[in-house]
A and B are shown apart, each in its own frame.
Chain A
Amino acid sequence: MEYALSVKDLRVSFYTRRGVFKALNGVNLELRRGEVLGVAGESGSGKSTTGLAIMGLLPRNAKVSSGSVLFDGRDLLAPLTSIRKFSTGRNESAIRKLHRELAPIRGKRISMVFQEPMTSLNPVLQVGYQIAETLVIHNPSLLASRKLARVRATREDTTALLKVIKENEGSETAVREFVESRHLKGLEEQALFIWRRNDINELRKERLILDLCCEKVGSTTKRLLESLEGGMGITKAPVLSRLLRRVLFKEGYRKAVEFLSTLGVPNPEKVVQMYPHELSGGMRQRIVIAIALINNPDVVIMDEPTSAVDVTVQAQILELVKDLKRRVNSSFIFISHDLSVLGEVSDRIAIMYGGRVVEVGPKEIVLKAPRHPYTTMLINAIPTLDGREIRGIEGEAPDMRNPPPGCIFNNRCPFAMDKCRKEEPPSYKVSEDHYVACFLQGGK
């Protein structure tokens, strides 16, 4: 099977003044195309570190001692794994190299949604600017062609376009064909967006589609946009780049409005002009999701996206994620400490403990018939609405600076055997798609 992304035997440790903190101890994860993979675990289990490592967002005291993150046929963490002996200086230059290599991927092909939307948005920039920014950086040619399409189109073109939309009832392929035949690429998504709005009446829609034409731009701007559309980067010439950027950001705002309205943001025209502090928690989280998704990434990593919001808003966000899963063709990694949240959105769930994936499988099986003792105990510790008796897990999570030998869970496991204290259990396949790292499940 082909994976959207796979993590192989990833080991990451952090060098601190108080010892080496072994955050990840051989994480194996495969993300299939189009699925939502839930990653659960308590604090310190390494679930967030896994997310950050995939993005290459590691601090300079992090050492990747082995493993790889395979995406699109290449190892994203290659510059870091090549370091043999750890030193901050060597690591720093490797991380700088990593950032350089990953810059075109981050935000475009792999993107991330963080927990606290107030800290992941820039407080002094309008949210529209922040959405537009990802477009201008990663996809300026799209913005250029959108703008140019409106410049090139004549009233006659849009009238014909409207007719095509009406005749085919907004079918995407028909509109695309028409637009291509007239060399007006970039117009189709704007027209279809207007057509699909349901807060305005037909008359207004027709009017707006007809108005997608005859825009005027200065000849310099036009030339700049054309070179951009032709595949050149944004020019670095001093005055010109400023001019071009201004046009692109303006177009980015337009696209942001369209995108936000598909995420169920009411009144997006006003919202893009606002600053993060003016928005409520749920709305901010939608903005962050918009930034992550606007470039149609292959992989979206969501790190506790609902932990900072209230239950009713959480329900809205989860509903949105479920809807996105149907609509866009990205694959999602959804990290959360709350198993019931994962039960809502994921296809498969991976349970992490002590920097390892202890169990992974389809969500129904992991939640209803778990096989690893930790998963069972974790599920029994969660209070539910029916008020059934809960049981805490005795003991404390091990100190990851000095993890016990053998299975990382052996000091709290009621079934621990001698073998568990000596050897690390491999991942056993217990049924189709269901893997458990526990000696009880095999290896007699």
Chain B
Amino acid sequence: MLIAARNLTKFFELRGGLTGKGAVQAVSDVDVEVREGEIVGVVGESGSGKSTLGRLLLGLIAPTSGEVLFDIPEELLQKYDEARSANDKKTMEEIASKYSITRKSGRELRALRRRMNMMFQDPYSSLNPRWRVEDIIMEPMVSTGYLTGNEARKRVRELLEEVGLPREFAYRYPHELSGGQRQRVALARSISTLPSFLVLDEPTSALDVSAQAQILQLLKRIRERFRIGLLLITHNIAVVSYMSDRIYVMYAGKVVEGGPKTSIISKPQHPYTVALISAVPGNSRGPRVILRGEPPNLVDPPKGCHFHPRCPMVMDNCGWTAKEVAEELEFLLRGRYYGMLKEGSKVVPQGELEILVEGAKAEEVRKVIEEEKEEVKSLRSIYEVREGNGGALVKLMRYDIPGMYRTDEGREVSCLIYRKT
């Protein structure tokens, strides 16, 4: 296995503020794998943690917890996974200490830099405007000690041809190039040390479609020629579906679905993936699913499944908390069932799983819940309503946190619908 991440988590601590500390849970508990010469696509909306994931894999930022195992033999990875499910910390530690890039020292990591690299989204800010193309492409070769001076210069010419630019471009400055040409230079730079793993962070998002098509074709050719494992991070599902062998779909810091491209695109299983693919304009397969609302704030992500507040197929145990249900119940009681709630009384969440509807009769509240259950999905998590504390006491079901469930060949879905009981 070229690179494998296990339980990778990154929380960015928030600073300042009066209310105390918090953290943006950018990536939480993610497993991903990239094999030699494979193109793996990571799709997700902005804020889903896909860029953070790419940077974590390269060791550009340190994870809060979890391991990134680089160049680990297949057997050892299997052993690690077995140890993990058996909760055998010792074996895990043993393997991780040898292969995880998070354990490597500065010098070891620098040696690894030659074998992994990154290509960035914006070709206008990722190339130093005061350097010539030659210097830009040469830099990684020289700084990693891969080649020196004149050898590197010669190699620059070869690389330029490799990415479809004339040799004379070596003497130009970035501002003389168009967006597509700049991105070719960035690609030449990132493959200059013949890495075996390359992270492409939105490589074509800043380009026009005609240039995008050229770069994508070029990337495919480069992969064939040098057998580089590519992690392609993008929000464009069509690009991923054109390029990749396998896909991971991310939502709110978690991988919700992973597997071979063709089967995910033609038969998405996680409700989010279904909605995401149906939202692609011009896509005519199946009915369009329009999601309500927008991705959550990751400082305080929803409990249980992060997707449950927007999920069209949400069930009773997907992660509803008293706060969410109380809000919707109050909205109903103040709107459609106006008059049931007395002036001045409130719907108060008590703890995580209990709500007090002040001054209301349990019988009436029960009726409202029965009637609205179909439409207001959060009410499904209510399993009991009884009199108490001067009002109706509403009790919620305990929620479950979805794990990764294997469905068919190589597919993994993080949704309780696919949990086998």
Q: Which residues of A contact B (CB under 8 A)?
A: 42-43, 199-201, 203-204, 280-283, 310-316, 318-319, 337-341, 343-344, 377-378, 380-388, 390-394, 396-397
Contacts and interface: CB of A to CB of B under 8 A. Distances in A.
B180 interface: yes
B242 interface: yes
Nearest to B210: A393
Contacts of B275: 312
A200 B337 CA distance: 7
Contact of A383 (B45, B178, B241): B241
Contact of A314 (B181, B216, B265, B281): B281
25 contacts: A42-B208, A200-B335, A201-B338, A204-B338, A310-B294, A311-B45, A311-B276, A312-B275, A312-B291, A312-B294, A315-B281, A315-B288, A338-B281, A344-B282, A378-B210, A380-B213, A381-B212, A383-B241, A384-B241, A385-B241, A386-B265, A387-B261, A391-B213, A393-B214, A396-B178
Nearest to B236: A383
A324 to B, nearest CB: 15
B238 A384 contact: yes
Given A385-B280, A385-B283, A311 B238 contact: no
Contacts of B294: 280-283, 310, 312-313
A292 to B, nearest CB: 21
Contacts of B238: 382-385
Nearest to B48: A310
B280 A383 contact: no
Given A310-B295, A383-B238, A383-B241, A377 B281 contact: no
Contacts of B45: 310-313
Interface string B236-253: 111101110000000000
Contact of A390 (B178, B216, B280, B285): B216
Interface size class on chain B is: 35 or more
A355 B231 CA distance: 37
B178 to A, nearest CB: 5
Nearest to B289: A315
Contacts of A310: 45-46, 235, 294-295
Given A338-B281, A385-B265, 14 more contacts: A43-B208, A201-B338, A201-B339, A311-B45, A312-B275, A312-B291, A314-B281, A377-B210, A381-B209, A382-B209, A383-B236, A390-B217, A393-B213, A394-B214
A137 to B, nearest CB: 31
A86 B21 CA distance: 60
A316 B290 contact: yes
Nearest to B239: A383
Contacts of B236: 383
B59 to A, nearest CB: 28
Contacts of B278: 315
Nearest to A382: B209
Nearest to B288: A315
Contact of B242 (A42, A203, A312, A383): A383
A203 B337 CA distance: 9
Interface in B175-214: 178, 180-181, 208-214
Interface in B272-309: 275-283, 285, 288, 290-291, 294-295
A43 B210 CA distance: 11
Given A310-B235, A338-B281, A340-B280, A201 B213 contact: no
A388 B283 CA distance: 14
A343 B282 contact: yes
Contacts of A394: 214
B89 interface: no
3 closest A-B pairs by beta carbon, nearest first, are: A392-B214, A340-B282, A392-B213
Interface string B336-347: 111100000000
B84 to A, nearest CB: 33
Contact of B338 (A43, A200, A311, A397): A200
B282 A311 contact: no
Contacts of A377: 210
A341 B280 CA distance: 9
Contacts of B285: 385
Contacts of B178: 396-397
Given A201-B338, A385-B265, A390 B213 contact: yes
A392 B211 contact: yes
A253 B290 CA distance: 29
Nearest to B262: A387
A285 to B, nearest CB: 11
B336 A200 contact: yes
Contacts of A341: 281-282
A339 B280 CA distance: 12
Contact of A201 (B242, B265, B281, B337): B337
A302 to B, nearest CB: 15
A311 B280 contact: yes
Contacts of B242: 383-384, 387-388, 390
A381 B212 CA distance: 8
Nearest to A338: B281
B216 A337 contact: no
Contacts of A281: 294
Residue picked from A312, A315, A387, most chain B C-beta under 10 Å: A312
Interface string B34-59: 00000000000110000000000000
Nearest to A395: B210
B346 to A, nearest CB: 17
Contacts of A388: 242
B106 to A, nearest CB: 38
Contacts of A392: 210-217
Contacts of A393: 210, 213-214
Contacts of A200: 335-336, 338
A282 B295 CA distance: 11
A340 B295 contact: no
B265 A387 contact: yes
B105 to A, nearest CB: 40
Given A42-B210, A311-B235, A383 B216 contact: yes
B41 to A, nearest CB: 11
Residue picked from A200, A377, A388, A390, most chain B C-beta under 10 Å: A390
A42 B212 CA distance: 11
Residue picked from A280, A318, A377, A382, most chain B C-beta under 10 Å: A382
A203 B214 CA distance: 63
Contacts of B208: 42-43, 337
A355 B73 CA distance: 56
Nearest to A205: B338
Nearest to B339: A203
A42 B178 CA distance: 13
B38 to A, nearest CB: 16
